[in-house]
C-alpha cells in the first residue's frame, strides 16, 4: 500500500496593514453602523468578523485581538537635524548681537573723541563690517528655513496616519495552501460611528392636477470610523441590524390591599404639649407621634408649631405642593420589502473620516397626493393648505426632516414620519394666498313676543365670500365657523341656515352619521352646487359648522350662516351674546 505523506508544515507570517495593503470594495451603511468589506491580495501562505477567501488555499482559523496604540518615535536623522538647527540658531543670534554692537558704537561717537579727519575711515569700516554681517545673517536665515523644512518632512514620515490610533483591532487568519499562488482574502467587519439619516425635499406644483407633489428622498451620510472611504461603492440599508434577540421576560404582577403611608410629627421637647399629660413630656429627647394619613385627615386642627418628619423614602404621592443640498444622480433600489430596502448610490463615492454630513439623492418619487384647504375666517382670513401624501412605493420611508417648496418657493420646514407602503401622512404646505375670503360683519335683528311673559328673539346672519384667483378649480376647501351654545334653559339657540337641524342634542348624532357615511337628514345638506354643509366634529358645546366647497377657476361662492337666540324672559341678562 502506497501512501503520500503530507508536505511538511512550515508556517510563515505576513503582517499586512489595512490602509496600505488592502482596499475597501464595499460599504453597506445602516442607520447606526456600517459593514465594510476589505480585500487583501498576497502570495499563498499566511496573512493577517467574517472572512471569505478565493484561491488555492483553505481558511483554517480566525482570531481577533487588540494591538498597542501606535507611537511615533524620533528617528536618528530627526535628532541630527534638531542639533544642526540649534547650532544655526545660535550663530544667527550672535550675528544679530554683532550688528547691534556696531550700531551702538557708531551712535556713541562724538566730536570730543573723534577727529574730523578720522570720520571717513570709521564710516568705511562700519559699511564693510555691516555688509558682511548682513550677508551672514541672510545666509543663516536661509539655512534655518531649509533645516525646518527637512524636520517637517522627516516628522511627516514618522507621523501616525490620520485615524491610525483608532485602528487597533488585529485579525489573524490561518491559511493552508497546497501549492504556491495568489490568494485573496475578503475581511468583512462592522464598525460604529457611521450612520445615515433620511431627509426630504417636497416640491409642489399647484398648476399640475394629476401628480402635483414630487418627493425627493435624500440621505445624509456621516462617518468617523478612523478610516477614509475613498472611491467605494456605497449601499444604504433602511433596516437596523438586531443584536439582541432574546425573548423578553415578564416580571411579577402582585395584588395587595392599599395601606396609607404613615406620617410622623416631630415635636420639640422644649415646647409644652397641651394634649399630653405633663408628666409624660420628656425633657431632653423629642417625642415622635405616628398616625395614619386617614386619622390625620380627621383632625381638623394641629398645633402650628409642629414640623413633619418622614420615616419613609419620599414618593411622588408625598410630593404635594434651509438651503437646498446639492443634487446627485438618483440611486438604484436594488431590493425592496414591506419594511426595508437597499439603495445603491450610483458610481463610486468618497466619504472622509470627518464626522461631517455628506448628502446624496436616493430616489425621486411621485406619490399620490390629495390637496385640502382649511380656513377659519372668524379668526383670520388666511387659507391653510395641506397635502395628504400616500407612499405608493414598495418600501418604507424613514422619519426625517423635510423642506417644503410650493411653486419653487420655500414655504416651510416639516417632518416626515415613518411611513409604510400605501400608508399616508399629512404635510402642511403653508398659506395659499390665491384664495381670498371676505368675512362681513354680523347682521343682528331683535323681535319680542308674548303678552304677559315676553321673550326676545335675536336673529344673527353671517355672510362669507370665497374668491378663487387660480386658473384651475379647487376641491375640498373647508370653511369652518360656529354658532353659540346655550348653557341655560332660558336661552334657546337654533340654527336656521344651513338647515342642519336644531343643533341641540343632535349634533353628536349628526356627526356620527356623517362619519359613518349615512345620508340621514341632519348629517349634511347640499347648500348649492359644489357646496355641502355639515356639523363639525367635537362635543355639542363647540357647535361648529363646516362647508366643504368646490370653487371654480377665477370663481366666487357665497356662504350664509343664520341662527336665532331666544331669551325668556326678555329682560334676562345674557353673557356672551
pLDDT score for 17: 66
Dihedral sign (CA 186, 188, 193, 196) = positive
Using H for helix, E for strand and C for coil, what is the string for 414-445? Answer: EEECCECCCCEEEEEEEECCCEEEEECCCEEE
Burial class (CB in 10 A: 0-12, 13-18, 19+), 392: middle
Cα separation, 565 vs 455, in Å, equals 10
- In angstroms and rounded to an integer, the radius of gyration of the C-alpha atoms of the chain is 44
pTM listed for this prediction:
0.56
The neighbour count for residue 230, using CB atoms within 10 Å, is: 13
Q: Is 101 helix (H, G, I), strand (E, B) or coil?
A: helix
C-alpha cell at 573: 341678562
Contact 362, 332 (CB under 8 A): no
Nearest C-alpha neighbor of 369 from the set 391, 399, 342, 340: 391
Residue whose cell numbers read 423614602: 313
Residue 114 near residue 122, CB atoms below 8 Å: yes
Query: Cell 551672514 belongs to which residue?
Result: 136
Per-residue pLDDT of the chain (577 residues; tens, 9 = 90+): 444 555 555 555 666 666 667 888 999 999 889 998 888 876 654 333 455 555 554 555 555 555 555 545 567 888 888 889 889 988 888 888 888 888 887 777 776 667 777 777 878 888 888 888 889 889 999 998 999 898 888 877 765 555 455 555 676 776 666 666 677 788 888 888 899 999 999 999 887 777 889 999 999 999 988 888 999 999 998 877 665 567 878 888 887 777 777 655 554 544 444 444 444 444 433 333 333 334 343 444 444 433 333 333 333 433 334 444 444 466 666 655 555 778 888 889 999 988 899 998 888 899 999 989 999 999 999 999 999 999 988 888 889 999 999 988 898 889 999 998 899 999 999 899 899 999 999 888 887 776 566 788 889 999 999 999 988 888 889 999 999 988 888 889 899 999 887 544 443 443 344 333 333 334 788 988 899 999 886 556 678 899 999 999 999 999 999 999 998 888 888 888 7
Alpha helices, DSSP H, located in 52-195: 76-108, 116-157
Beta bridge partners of 369: 389
**Nearest-angstrom CA–CA distance, 424 and 435:** 26
- Grid cell in block for residue 183: 490568494
Please state, in angstroms and rounded to a whole number, the distance separating the CA atoms of residues 167 and 176. 27
Amino acid at each position: 500500500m502506497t501512501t503520500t505523506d503530507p508536505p511538511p508544515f512550515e508556517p510563515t507570517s505576513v503582517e499586512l496593514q489595512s490602509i496600505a495593503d488592502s482596499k475597501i470594495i464595499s460599504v453597506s451603511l445602516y442607520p447606526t453602523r456600517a459593514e465594510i468589506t476589505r480585500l487583501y491580495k498576497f502570495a499563498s501562505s499566511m496573512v493577517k468578523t467574517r472572512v471569505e477567501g478565493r484561491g488555492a488555499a483553505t481558511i483554517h482559523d480566525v482570531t481577533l485581538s487588540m494591538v498597542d496604540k501606535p507611537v511615533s518615535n524620533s528617528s536618528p536623522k530627526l535628532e541630527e537635524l534638531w542639533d544642526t538647527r540649534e547650532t544655526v540658531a545660535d550663530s544667527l543670534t550672535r550675528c544679530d548681537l554683532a550688528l547691534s554692537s556696531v550700531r551702538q558704537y557708531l551712535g556713541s561717537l562724538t566730536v570730543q573723541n573723534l577727529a574730523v579727519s578720522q570720520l571717513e575711515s570709521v564710516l568705511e569700516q562700519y559699511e564693510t563690517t555691516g555688509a558682511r554681517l548682513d550677508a551672514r545673517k541672510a545666509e543663516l536665515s536661509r539655512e534655518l528655513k531649509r533645516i525646518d523644512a527637512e524636520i517637517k518632512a522627516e516628522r511627516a514620515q514618522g507621523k501616525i496616519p490620520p485615524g491610525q490610533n483608532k485602528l487597533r483591532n488585529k485579525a489573524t487568519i490561518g491559511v493552508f495552501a497546497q501549492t504556491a499562488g495568489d490568494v485573496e482574502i475578503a475581511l468583512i467587519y462592522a464598525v460604529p460611528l457611521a450612520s445615515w439619516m433620511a431627509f426630504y425635499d417636497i416640491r409642489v406644483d399647484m398648476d399640475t392636477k394629476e401628480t402635483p407633489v414630487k418627493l425627493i428622498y435624500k440621505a445624509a451620510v456621516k462617518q468617523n470610523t478612523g478610516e477614509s472611504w475613498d472611491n467605494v461603492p456605497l449601499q444604504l440599508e433602511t433596516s437596523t441590524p438586531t443584536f439582541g434577540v432574546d425573548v423578553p421576560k415578564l416580571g411579577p404582577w402582585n395584588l395587595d390591599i392599599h395601606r396609607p403611608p404613615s406620617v410622623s410629627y416631630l415635636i420639640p421637647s422644649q415646647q409644652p404639649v397641651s394634649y399630653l399629660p405633663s408628666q409624660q413630656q420628656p425633657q431632653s429627647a423629642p417625642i415622635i407621634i405616628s398616625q395614619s394619613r386617614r386619622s390625620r385627615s380627621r383632625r381638623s386642627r394641629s398645633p402650628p408649631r409642629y414640623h413633619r418628619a418622614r420615616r419613609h423614602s419620599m414618593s411622588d404621592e408625598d410630593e404635594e405642593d434651509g438651503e437646498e443640498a446639492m443634487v446627485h444622480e438618483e440611486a438604484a433600489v436594488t431590493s425592496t420589502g414591506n419594511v426595508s430596502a437597499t439603495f445603491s448610490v450610483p458610481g463610486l463615492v468618497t466619504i472622509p473620516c470627518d464626522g461631517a454630513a455628506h448628502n446624496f439623492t436616493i430616489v425621486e418619487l411621485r406619490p399620490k397626493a390629495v390637496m385640502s384647504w382649511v380656513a377659519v375666517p372668524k379668526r383670520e382670513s388666511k387659507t391653510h393648505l395641506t397635502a395628504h401624501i400616500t407612499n405608493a412605493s414598495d418600501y418604507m420611508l424613514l422619519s426625517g426632516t423635510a423642506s417644503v417648496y410650493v411653486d419653487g418657493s420655500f414655504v416651510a420646514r416639516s417632518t416626515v414620519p415613518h411611513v409604510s407602503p400605501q400608508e399616508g401622512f399629512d404635510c402642511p404646505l403653508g398659506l395659499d394666498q390665491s384664495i381670498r375670503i371676505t368675512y362681513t360683519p354680523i347682521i343682528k335683528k331683535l323681535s319680542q313676543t308674548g303678552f304677559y311673559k315676553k321673550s326676545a328673539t335675536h336673529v344673527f346672519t353671517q355672510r362669507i365670500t370665497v374668491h378663487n384667483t387660480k386658473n384651475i378649480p379647487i376641491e375640498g376647501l373647508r370653511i369652518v365657523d360656529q354658532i353659540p351654545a346655550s348653557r341655560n334653559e332660558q336661552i334657546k339657540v337654533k340654527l336656521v341656515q344651513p338647515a342642519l337641524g336644531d343643533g341641540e342634542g343632535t349634533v353628536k348624532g349628526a356627526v356620527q352619521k356623517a362619519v359613518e357615511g349615512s345620508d340621514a337628514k341632519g348629517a349634511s345638506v347640499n347648500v348649492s352646487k359644489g357646496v355641502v354643509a355639515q356639523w363639525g366634529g367635537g362635543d355639542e358645546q363647540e357647535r361648529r359648522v363646516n362647508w366643504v366647497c368646490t370653487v371654480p377657476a377665477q370663481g366666487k361662492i357665497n356662504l350664509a350662516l343664520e341662527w336665532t337666540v331666544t331669551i325668556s324672559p326678555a329682560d334676562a341678562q345674557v353673557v356672551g351674546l
